[in-house]
Amino acid sequence: MNKFVHKISKNSLVALVLSILCYVTISYGIERSSFYKLLILYTVLFASFLFLLYDNKNDENTLLSFSFLFRLLLLFAIPNLSDDFYRFIWDGRMLWEGFNPYLYLPENNTALVAQGQSLYQGMGAMNGSHYTCYPPVNQLTFLIPAIFFSKNLLGATVIMRLLILLADVGTYYYGKKILALLNIPGNNIFLYLLNPFVIIELTGNLHFEAVMIFFLAAAIYYLLKNNWLVSAFYFAVSVSVKLIPLLFLPVFIKRLGLKKSLLYGGIVLGVNILFFLPFASHELYDNFMKSIHLYFQNFEFNASIYYIIREIGFQVKGYNIIHSVGKITPFIVAISVLLLSLLRANRNGKILFETLLFSICIYYSLASIVHPWYIAIPLFFSVFTQYKFPLLWSFVVVLSYAAYQNISYKENLYFVGLEYLVVYTAFFYEILFLNKKSSFRIGNLR
């Protein structure tokens, strides 16, 4: 430890201490409703992250040590910025007790699992009143904590956090390999791995985008190595953690060719059908799709272009047109992604990642709900491109937490507007003015 402390500069040591204090305070010392405290602490934390990144840009071991030290600080924290983990624990305990979580609503079945009433109260009536929308491999990650701690909330959160930490190790491993294939400096991976947004939202708040990104990174690595069969399996597992990677299947057409693309998609579909088989029942499809439709057509949070469309709808129709918009936007996104897939030279690995980045950003720009942790996907893709607007987004997304200052979770649209003004300004600046021949080096954070 002493050798490590002496190795880093005095300024880095100050940034390290500030980071530790901020991580501990955010994770153990504030409530989600304390928005301005969170904003100040997160700003200090992000500034410290950028300094540590720059000051140690040539020292991979030091950056790696920082990345996992900060994660370990959060190991015993009960998430205080998100209540989703209560539903994860409930689903896992339902499996452990022999029940199919796709068939039961928490609000009607609190007696079926240990601490059921507390879990239901923690997840909230909105979350507890609809069927689970988490695919089978994600359900497995919920089951593992229940095996070890079927009656202990803290123990279950520690196990989930360790699973996410292991996923981050895998993301580091495959991320470095992809960077090497693309001739990009390996330390660029710390734009993702050391980012306080990733550490707080994924490790701290227990969001399994971390696990999905690990499998997605493995899938893309093997795709770039032309081992498309292994890639398809990893991609299928990624989809079975979170459904969002399905959006990216068309992007691989140029890389694979039409025939292999169809086979690739067939493997992804077939593997996921196998994963769902243990849960098969007459009600499974209806319950699962009800939750998916509810997501697209009922929920609103931290949206951008969608809110403009909604306001136009209020002016023209006199009511919220979310149901109508929610039926149309998936087709707009699908057509946009297909055009990007067919018109761009996605055989090239760097262009492939740019297309993946643009695809997810189109989806989020039209989505009615963009939770903070969703930004992990564009942030990860940006590591392999020249575009750094997702890095800026990973900072300003903290403004969305202003909604939790009141019990009704009413959003402050001024903060939402400021968030997206910054993001879209950075996006269009990079699109219009970024020199495509500039360096990918980590010290160049524009």
Digit-coded pLDDT (tens) for 177-228: 999 999 999 999 999 999 999 999 999 999 999 999 999 999 999 999 999 9
Rounded Cα distance, 303 and 308, in Å: 9
Question: Is the pLDDT confidence value at 438 over 60?
Answer: no
Check: CB of residue 179 under 8 Å from CB of residue 189: yes
- The larger pLDDT score, comparing residue 405 to residue 127, is at 405
State residue 310's pLDDT score.
Answer: 84
Q: What is the DSSP letter of 79?
A: P
180 Cβ neighbours under 8 A, 6+ residues apart:
186
CA nearest neighbour of 83 among 123, 34, 129: 123
CA angle at 268 for the pair 265 and 270, rounded to the nearest 5°:
105
Amino acid at 295: Y
Q: Which two tokens stand for residue 281?
A: 């029942």
Question: Is the pLDDT confidence value at 436 over 70?
Answer: no
Check: CB of residue 345 under 8 Å from CB of residue 351: yes
State residue 319's pLDDT score.
Answer: 67
The length of the chain, given as a count of residues: 446
Check: CB of residue 380 under 8 Å from CB of residue 217: yes
**Residue that is written with structure tokens 């292999």 in the block:** 260
Label residue 2 by pLDDT band (50, 70, 90).
low
- Residue 369 φ then ψ, to 5°: -140, 125
State residue 440's pLDDT score.
Answer: 40
Tell me the mean pLDDT in the region 134-160.
96
Average pLDDT across the chain, whole number: 92
- The larger pLDDT score, comparing residue 221 to residue 6, is at 221
Question: Is the pLDDT confidence value at 446 over 80?
Answer: no
Question: Is the pLDDT confidence value at 445 over 50?
Answer: no
| pLDDT tens column, 309-352 | 888 887 777 666 666 777 788 899 999 999 999 999 999 999 99
Rounded Cα distance, 205 and 85, in Å: 8
Tell me whether residue 91 is exposed, middle or buried, using C-beta atoms within 10 angstroms of its C-beta: 0 to 12, 13 to 18, 19 or more: buried
